[in-house]
Amino acid sequence: MQNQKEQEIRELQEKIMAKRQQIEFDKTDMDLATEFSSENNENPEVSEDFKNLNDPAGNVIDTGELKELSSAESELIHLIDRLNKLKNE
């Protein structure tokens, strides 16, 4: 019984680490997409283009990607909660 619990804890810890890495990678990718987006690097000398300078991430990044990131963060929280409950049993 104790070995099974330890195995579950290790598996949850591995899943949490993988999920954290995925989230960190996705956030970095979105930050780079936002920073180097052609929409954010328009020539500000032209007043029509100036409105695109420093657009929020939502205007540059696909909303599907933002939803995936939010879902991954929620899943991470759920995994951490499961791990904490398992450790406290």
Is the per-residue pLDDT at 86 higher than 80? yes
Mean pLDDT of 81-89: 93
Q: Is the pTM of this model over 0.85?
A: no
Closest CA to 32 of 68, 52, 61: 61
Q: What is the pLDDT of residues 17-61, one digit of tens each?
A: 999 999 999 999 888 877 766 554 455 555 444 555 555 555 556
Q: Are 42 and 49 in contact (CB under 8 A)?
A: yes
Q: What is the pLDDT of residues 56-80, one digit of tens each?
A: 555 556 788 888 999 999 999 999 9
pLDDT of amino acid 40? 46
Q: Where are the domains of the chain?
A: 2-87
pLDDT of amino acid 19? 96
Using H for helix, E for strand and C for coil, what is the string for the chain?
Answer: CHHHHHHHHHHHHHHHHHHHHHHHHHHHHHHHHHHHCHHHCCCCCCHHHHCCCCCCHHHHCCHHHHHHHHHHHHHHHHHHHHHHHHHCC
